Amino acid sequence: MAAFQFPGQTNFYSGKVRDVYTIGDDKLVMIASNRISAFDVILPKPIPYKGQVLNQIAAYMLQATSDICPNWLLTTPTPNSAIGKKCIPFKVEMVIRGNLTGHAWRTYQSGNKILCGVTMPDGMKENDFFPLPIITPSTKASVGHDEDISKEDILKTGIATAAEYAVLEKYTQQLFERGKQLAAKQGLILVDTKYEFGKIGDEIFLMDEIHTPDSSRYFYAEGYEERQAKGERQKQLSKEFVREWLIENNFMGKEGQVVPEMTEDWINTISKRYIELYEKVIGQKFIPQELSTEETFQRISKAL
């Protein structure tokens, strides 16, 4: 059920954590909710300010990379909303990894050195840097889980042409390089992230959120080498802590499993962690803002 009916609205879609309104046939309004998801499940209680945190980090990062490639964003009329150009999306997420961690490490550890058609070097330890970042795309599933896919299969299935893929690859590498530079200024390492692209006519645009803790993983740079040398876990900045809490409480989104009780204290802890993420990632003080539904509607309508 759509919360709003904007002037010129032609469609509405409610995703796991965002509500997307189509205006006419060329614009989108994206509202970042305070919903939180893990293991493809929306958790029962919202996290205060989470939508504002993600929306504002994404807007900051899109602006900081706008010289690399065109992006969808036009304006952010409220703390948790964005208006932008409607693109026809490529049905693939361009995942890029600077370090052997997460899914790549699990694959590697199982004895499989090939991920999405890319061969990973021998003799690596968890969280080591790759000699060069690797691109390991995944399909964008409308239902269920995203699947790994190789460049060859992307071309073979017609998700993108060879010329388009070359552009996607170039933009992905350049955006990741910029993301790493922005992170380094903040004493962070951008470990891995994903980008989504779409087309308007023949032009390729960067879409969606970028370099947010929901779409990326960050390590603290200080002490990274020492932790690697000792084989210790890296100190990271992402929503991994929420997943870890769920796993500890026997929830991984599998059938028959029940989401553990989310106490007020725990909800406030998650909210504080998201605010910490914001301040650490972009180096600015977070100013919490709460608008009424009416005020949100007025501001977005005026901007449209």
224 and 122, same structural domain?
A: yes
217 and 113, same structural domain?
A: yes
Asked if residue 252 is part of any domain, the answer here is no
76 and 104, same structural domain?
A: no
196 and 177, same structural domain?
A: yes
Residue of 271, 269, 201, 205 whose CA lies nearest to 50 = 271
Residue with tokens 């879609």: 13
271 and 299, same structural domain?
A: yes
Range of the domain at 18: 9-87+258-303
pLDDT of residue 1: 57
> Helix (H, G, I), strand (E, B), or coil: what is residue 96?
strand
120 and 222, same structural domain?
A: yes
Number of C-beta neighbours around residue 159 at 10 A? 18
Spell out the per-residue pLDDT of the chain, length 304, in tens.
568 999 999 999 998 899 999 999 999 999 999 999 988 889 999 999 999 999 999 999 999 999 999 999 999 999 999 999 999 999 999 999 999 999 999 999 999 999 999 999 999 999 999 999 999 999 987 666 679 999 999 999 999 999 999 999 999 999 999 999 999 999 999 999 999 999 999 999 999 999 998 899 999 999 999 999 999 999 988 888 898 899 899 998 888 999 999 999 999 999 999 999 999 999 999 999 999 999 999 999 999 9
Q: How many distinct structural domains can be found in the chain? A: 2
74 and 21, same structural domain?
A: yes
Asked if residue 129 is part of any domain, the answer here is yes
Q: Rounded to an integer, what distance in angstroms lies between the CA atom of residue 210 and that of residue 59?
A: 8
36 and 130, same structural domain?
A: no
223 and 93, same structural domain?
A: yes
Q: How many CA atoms lie within 13 A of 171 on its CB side?
A: 27
pLDDT of residue 135: 98
193 and 117, same structural domain?
A: yes
164 and 29, same structural domain?
A: no
CATH number of domain containing 96: 3.30.470.20
